[in-house]
């Protein structure tokens, strides 16, 4: 104990790397223009979607309490769950196909995380200025200038996030109904919860987490490399052409000063939304947004060198080989995708918006009526999934033997209605086997294609 203890370190030991905010530099170029166009398109579709009308209702509405989905002229019921499943399978296979062919196009242009982050970055630039101004503002002490710029940014972000949450819930509660509820402060607890939840998620993901969602939360970012091969389109730095990097005056050819084409201006690093250096090679953090291509092309134009030091290419092409577009991986994904898409649309187009379910009344199984015939009672559950009412006539198989009561039953079922129709069927008690399988057929009177059948059993006494 006589030994003197080592003096405590002056600075506390940091066990964890502090998060450094990425300030992506604004850039103009071909791919940036393309991304901004997709941002407008996708956000436009999202925000306008709930306000589109179809006949007397919202065009796209997922009515959860009534358990039906409206998508333009289509009404989907829980029984149509297969279509949703097929749609998800198509989306997944489509993603695999595109990834194998062209890499992370989804991440760079279409992912909601990218799209909303782009919108939030835009609002940040409106209020806080360029990258350099933002970084300066972050370093500077609190002042009136900083306060109002930061407040303006938060105001824009929060309003936009709330509008996003409102739009999200509008897909489940009709937008106009929701608007009047918001204005009269009469939102239900769950509607309030989901609007705030979705707004908060948008605000947090697009305002703060940003590239961290891609790096730490996204499963696709982790497994996308499984779809990659040497013929997949990637964004890469041409090391052979660029190295050794170093600065040189404009108009001086790289070869004359023993340098590669890269002038080490670090613009490609500054524009990167995930804060990586593409010159270090392909990294899983890269979301393939191509901002570095635009940045480098601008610089190469200024230097008078050909574009494409950073470019879309494949590993095979980079190694001096040829890129094979058609390869087993692509063929398998492609064929599977086509088959499932064909099955999806085939079954959707030929689908009859009609369901029939027959319940046999079991107490009693049968009874013998005065004429000596056996009688069974059935409930026909007719579900008219069409968007207009229909009148159905009912027939039963083996009509020589079996008689319906009422004789020629007709039932009118409203649009989207489930109608329980009660019917009796009779036959000579011992005329057939027991149980005997019988088939009910319902057909719409105006539309012969609207037809459905269902089997049941007829019981009679056993000899």
Partner 1 sequence: MMRPKKMKNLDEQGTNPELPVPLRRSLTVLWCSFLAAGAATMVTFALLDPARLWACFSFGGGTPNHLLFYSAGFFVFWAMGTTAAALTAFMLSSPRT
Residues that bind partner 1 (CB under 8 A): 15-19, 64-65, 67, 78, 81, 84, 188, 190, 193, 212, 215-217, 219, 222, 225, 228-230, 281-285, 315
Nearer to partner 1, 104 or 427 (CB): 104
Shortest Cβ 185–partner 1 spacing (Å): 19
Pairwise CA distance, residues 358 & 66, whole Å: 23
Nearest to partner 1 of 64, 257 (CB atom)? 64
40 versus 193: smaller Cβ distance to partner 1:
193
Is 158 or 330 the residue whose CB approaches partner 1 more closely? 330
Cβ 152 to partner 1 shortest distance, Å:
28
Instruction: Work out how close the CB of 411 gets to partner 1 at its nearest, in angstroms, rounded to a whole number.
Output: 23
Q: Which is nearer to partner 1, 235 or 396 (CB)?
A: 235
Nearest to partner 1 of 280, 362 (CB atom): 280
Minimum gap (Å) between residue 21 Cβ and partner 1 = 12
**Minimum distance, C-beta of residue 159 to partner 1, in the bound complex (Å):** 26
Kindly tell me which of 219 and 251 has the beta carbon lying closer to partner 1: 219
User: Closest separation between CB of residue 385 and partner 1, Å?
Assistant: 15
Nearer to partner 1, 152 or 317 (CB): 317
- The nearest distance, CB 84 to partner 1, in angstroms, is 7
> Cβ of residue 240: shortest distance to partner 1, in angstroms?
15
Least gap, CB of 187 to partner 1 (angstroms): 12
Is the CB of 223 or the CB of 430 nearer to partner 1? Answer: 223
* CA separation, residue 255 to residues 251, 258, 261 (Å): 12, 5, 8
């Amino acid at each position: 104990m006589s030994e003197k203890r080592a003096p405590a370190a002056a600075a506390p030991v940091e066990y964890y790397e502090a998060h450094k905010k990425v300030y992506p530099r604004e850039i103009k170029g071909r791919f940036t223009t393309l991304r901004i166009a997709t941002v407008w398109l996708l956000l436009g579709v999202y925000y306008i979607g709930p306000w589109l009308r179809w006949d007397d209702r919202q065009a796209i509405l997922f009515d959860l309490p009534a358990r039906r989905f409206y998508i333009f002229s289509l009404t989907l019921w829980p029984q149509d769950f297969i279509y949703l499943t097929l749609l998800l399978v198509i989306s997944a296979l489509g993603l695999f196909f595109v990834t194998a062919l062209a890499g992370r196009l989804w991440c760079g242009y279409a992912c909601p995380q990218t799209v909303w982050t782009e919108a939030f970055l835009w609002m940040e630039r409106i209020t806080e200025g360029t990258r350099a101004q933002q970084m300066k503002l972050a370093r500077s002490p609190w002042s009136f200038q900083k306060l109002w710029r930061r407040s303006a940014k938060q105001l824009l972000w929060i309003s936009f996030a709330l509008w996003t949450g409102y739009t999200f819930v509008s897909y489940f509660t009709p937008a106009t109904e929701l608007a009047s509820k918001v204005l009269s402060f009469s939102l239900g607890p769950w509607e309030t919860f989901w609007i705030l939840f979705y707004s908060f998620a948008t605000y947090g993901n697009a305002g703060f987490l940003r590239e961290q969602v891609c790096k730490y939360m996204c499963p696709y970012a982790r497994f996308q490399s499984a779809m990659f091969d040497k013929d997949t389109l990637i964004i890469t730095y041409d090391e052979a052409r660029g190295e050794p990097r170093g600065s040189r005056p404009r108009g001086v050819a790289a070869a004359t000063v023993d340098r590669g084409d890269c002038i080490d201006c670090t613009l490609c690093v500054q524009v990167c939304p995930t804060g990586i250096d593409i010159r270090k090679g392909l990294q899983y953090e890269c979301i393939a947004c191509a901002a570095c291509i635009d940045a480098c092309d601008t610089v190469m134009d200024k230097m008078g060198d050909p574009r494409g030091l950073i470019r879309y290419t494949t590993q095979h092409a980079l190694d001096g080989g040829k890129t094979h577009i058609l390869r087993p991986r692509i063929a398998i994904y492609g064929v599977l995708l086509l088959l499932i898409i064909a099955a999806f649309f085939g079954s959707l187009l030929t689908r009859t918006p009609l369901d029939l379910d027959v319940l046999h009344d079991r107490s009693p199984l049968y009874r013998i009526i005065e004429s000596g015939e056996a009688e069974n009672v059935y409930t026909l559950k007719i579900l008219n999934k069409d968007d207009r009412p229909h009148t159905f006539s009912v027939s039963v198989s083996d009509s020589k033997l079996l008689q319906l009561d009422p004789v020629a039953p007709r039932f009118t079922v409203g649009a989207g209605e489930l109608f329980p129709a009660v019917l009796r069927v009779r036959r000579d008690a011992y005329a057939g086997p027991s149980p005997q399988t019988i088939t009910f057929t319902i057909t719409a009177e105006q539309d012969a294609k609207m037809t459905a059948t269902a089997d049941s059993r007829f019981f009679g006494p056993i000899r």
